[in-house]
Amino acid sequence: MVVRVLRSISRTSIFLWEKRWRLAVGSLVLDAQEHVAYLNDEEIPLTVREFNLIYKLLSYPKKTFTRSQLMDEFWDSASTSGPRTVDVYMTKLRDKFSACKDFEIVTVHGLGYKAVLK
């Protein structure tokens, strides 16, 4: 009996592990293994950095990330880009996901950005 329960838990853990690679927010699905975003089953073309940024924001809804935090995580230290580069990426992401009414990328003035689920 115990062996059956452990096998069942092990299979469930594998399933949950695989599920963690996908993040769904309403009609938007982000697949972290493939680095692909689908909105209403249509692929939205994203660069790796755009994908990583949107995945980060949607993984922690309502949490504000400063420009510096995002720069430290998604740009290498040798980058000559300034913190306002994040603003450019957020504008691109807002444009690409303008048809998605399930979340909004909100500017927290003087601080950074957060995703708010609707």
The confidence score (pLDDT) of residue 82 equals: 80
Gap between the Cα atoms of 108 and 70, Å rounded? 14
pLDDT, averaged per 10 consecutive residues of the chain (118 residues), comes to 46 44 92 94 96 97 96 86 90 97 96 95
CATH, residue 67: 1.10.10.10
Residue span of the structural domain in which 99 resides:
2-117
- Residue spans of beta strands (DSSP E) within 1-110: 22-25, 28-31, 36-39, 42-44, 65-66, 103-108
Number of domains into which the chain is organized: 1
